[in-house]
Structure 1
Amino acid sequence: MPIKIPDELPARLILEEEGINVMDETHAIRQDIRPMRVALLNLMPNKIQTETQLARLIGATPLQVDLTLVRITDHESRHTPPDHMASFYRPWEAVKNERFDGFIITGAPVERLAFEEVLYWDEMRRILDWTQTNVHRLLTICWAAQAAVYHFHGMPKYELPQKAFGIFRHWNRCPSSPHMRGFADDIAIPVSRWTEVRKEDIPPDSGISVLAESDETGVCLLDDPKKRAVHMFNHVEYDTDTLAREYERDKLAGGAIPKGYFPDDDPTRAPVNHWRGHGHLLFGNWINDMYQTTPYDTNLVGIESFKP
């Protein structure tokens, strides 16, 4: 089944050219099924790029998904055209009375700030609490994952001596998890962050388990069943050239070549994507788990009796 997104969203043409099934409203209502309602709170500066990356992974799953784009209520994006935001994004205050099968929160370029110094931290805390009553399954990425485990479990983040940047080898620590179904034991995943959370800070009574981690860059993916959440600290959604663009942006300021990304660490050579399949597996598994457990009646999403 396809993903349903607005007709004029820039991601639509890109996904159609890639062979992703994209559905319009007319065709959606002909199907006698309830689509999965998934919302994306996009905190990244280049919102068009990020929404395309995530819509690609959501749209490749076998279920019909109705995607809603969400923004922080009183925070204006400086890097995305205002007309794009006005046309396609809804402020969280406008959707907070609705219920969603899935809710995704992206990273944000604020990871070196203390959480309390982030301008929208108060609303972020309210959103995280709201996911426990109005959302069936939560997926957080990068800074949002750090924010979630800090807010829910008091786990701090630590600044790294240098940026963790490149493609790093990770280990599948829980092959029996439904979120890791189909994953190999050895996984290549893009990493791009200045901070980390640490396994030893996981509270013993939290129920959190490590699904994937790296010897070099630490925790990658956590299952947080008490909060009905999965926290991804790295970037399986990245395009092949995303790290190259980050490198070009930062190299004049002394940024390092991303480790293990360019062949022979030669930035004149085109990188090879080793993680595309992992992104599709993770999002497919997450949506499948959501579909298997969410109530048919969306009014019951978040109700205690339906929590696994």
Structure 2
Amino acid sequence: MPINVPKTLPARSILERENIFLMEEKRATTQDIRPLNILILNLMPNKQATETQLLRLLSNSPLQVSVDFIHTESYQPKNVPKTHLEQFYLTFTDVKHKRYDGFIITGAPVEQMEFEDVDYWDELTEIMDWSNRHVTSTLHICWGAQAALYHHYNITKSERADKISGLFTHELVEATNKLVRGIDDEFTVPHSRHTDADYQSVADHPDLLILDHSDEAGPFIITSKDERHIMITGHIEYDADTLAKEYQRDRDRGLDVHMPTDYFPENNCDNIPKNRWRSEAYLLFSNWLNYFVYQETPFKW
């Protein structure tokens, strides 16, 4: 079923070439069904790449999905044209009177900072508090997951000795949970981060459930038991070449970074990496939309 996106959004042409089912506003409003209304707070520097990645995964649903993007008001993004934000993005002020079926908070390149030192932290905490009252279920990605664990559950993060980057195998420990329905007992996920949420604090928290385990990367999926908050610690939305671009970016900056683990074929960075997590990504987003959003959200707020 289709996802409703603006006709001129740059991601649209990419998704159309992939035969993703897209629909324009005019046609969407003539269908006698209520779409799922999803809000995305995009904190990633390359906003257009993240838009494409998330819209691709949201498209794999039997439901019509309508998406609003917002950016921070307290911090002006530097890596995206102002005209793009003006044309395709709203602010929290524009949407805080609304209710949404689902909400996505992306990662952000600020994980080595203390939460309170992030320029938009106060705004983000206001948005996260708002989500408790105005959103059925929120999906938090990477740093967004760490921010949610800290703000909602008082769980801190710690610096890793070395950045974790690459593909890591996770094993399901809660295989019957509906969020991971259809996902293999062992699955591969991209990670790219310098910090970890405190594992024991997560495991001991009475309101949280860890769905998988990895000796190297820790848990990937953490969910609140009321299903209002989903925290994913990696970047399952990434394209096949995203880790390669990050690796090259860090090398160009003169940083001492290791090659992403189990990522490049034959461990040779001249070889083109393959996407080995696509099916899990589609399943995870489809399950979230179906079981945690559609099945729970009221037809009328």
Q: Bin the TM-score by the shorter chain.
A: over 0.9
Structure 2 counterparts to residues 111-260 of structure 1, below 5 A: 111-202=111-202, 204=204, 206-226=206-226, 228-251=228-251, 252-260=254-262
Provide the C-alpha distance between the structure 1 equivalents of 2:5 and 2:136, rounded to a whole number of angstroms. Answer: 21
* Counterpart residue number, 2:35: 35
- Superposition deviation, residue 74 in structure 1: 2.6
**2:74–2:123: 8 Å Cα contact kept in structure 1?**
no
Letter of the 1:267 partner, please give it.
C
Matches of 1:204 and 1:226, distance apart in 2: 16
Deviations 1:57-92 (A, max 9, x none): 001222100000011123211000000001000011
The answer to whether the 8 Å contact 1:169/1:214 transfers is yes
Q: Secondary structure at the match of 2:94?
A: helix
Q: Which segments of 5 or more consecutive residues in structure 1 lack a partner in the other structure?
A: 300-308
Which one-letter code corresponds to 1:244 in the other structure?
A: A
Question: Which SS does the other structure have where 1:187 is aligned?
Answer: strand
Deviation at 1:232, TM superposition (A): 0.4
Q: Distance in 2 between matches of 1:102 and 1:29?
A: 20
* SS in structure 1 at match of 2:295: helix
Q: What is the TM-score with the length of structure 2 in the denominator?
A: 0.97
Q: Shift of residue 273 of structure 1?
A: 1.2
Distance (Å, rounded) in 2 between the aligned partners of 1:8 and 1:59? 17
CA distance in structure 2 between the aligned counterparts of 1:120 and 1:31, rounded to whole angstroms: 38
Q: Let me know the Cα RMSD of the aligned residues.
A: 1.1
Q: Which amino acid aligns with 2:298?
A: P
Instruction: Measure, in 1, the Cα distance between the counterparts of 2:119 and 2:101.
Output: 28
- Contact 1:220/1:234 (8 A) holds in 2: yes
- Once the two structures are TM-superposed, the CA of residue 243 in structure 1 deviates from its matched residue by 0.5
- Aligned residues of 2:74 and 2:119 also touching (Cα < 8 A): no
Paired letter, 1:37 = N
- C-alpha contact 1:236 1:279 (8 A) present in aligned 2: yes
Indicate the SS of the match to 1:195. Answer: strand
Q: Does 1:77 align with 2:82?
A: no
2:227 and 2:182 map into 1 onto residues whose CA distance is: 24
Q: Judge conservation of contact 1:197–1:219 (CA < 8 Å) in 2.
A: no
> What residue number does 1:293 align with?
296
Residues 203, 210 of structure 2: 8 Å contact kept: no
Matched, 1:48 2:48: yes
Tell me by how many angstroms 1:205 deviates.
Answer: 5.0
User: Number of aligned pairs?
Assistant: 298
CA drift at 1:226: 3.5
Distance in 2, matches of 1:166 and 1:202, equals 23
**1:207 CA displacement:** 2.1
Which portions of structure 1, spanning 4 or more consecutive aligned residues, are displaced by more than 6 angstroms? none
Per-residue CA distance 1:148-173 (angstroms, 9 max, x = gap)? 01001110000000000000011111
* C-alpha separation in 2, matches of 1:206 and 1:90: 36
User: Residue 210 of structure 1 contacts residue 221 of structure 1 at CA under 8 Å; is this kept in 2?
Assistant: yes
Give the CA deviation at 1:227. Answer: 6.2
Task: Report what 1:6 is aligned to.
Answer: 6
Q: Which residue type is aligned with residue 8 of structure 1?
A: T
Identity %: 43
State the Cα deviation string for residues 5-58 of structure 1 (Å, max 9, x = none).
111100111001101011001210121100000010000000000011000000
* Counterpart amino acid of residue 291 in structure 1: Y
Conserved? CA contact 2:167–2:191, under 8 Å: yes
Q: Is this contact kept in 2: 1:102–1:137, CA < 8 A?
A: yes
Q: Distance in 1 between matches of 2:173 and 2:87?
A: 42
Once the 2 structures are TM-superposed, how far is the Cα of residue 270 of structure 1 from its aligned partner? Answer: 1.1
Distance in 2 of aligned mates of 1:292 and 1:201:
30
1:109-150 Cα deviation digits (max 9, x unpaired): 000000010011111111111011000110000001000010
SS in 2 for 1:50: helix
Normalising by structure 1, report the TM-score.
Answer: 0.95
Distance change >3 Å, CA 177–CA 163, structure 1 → 2:
same
Cα deviation, residue 255, structure 1: 1.8
2: CA distance between counterparts of 1:276 and 1:220?
15
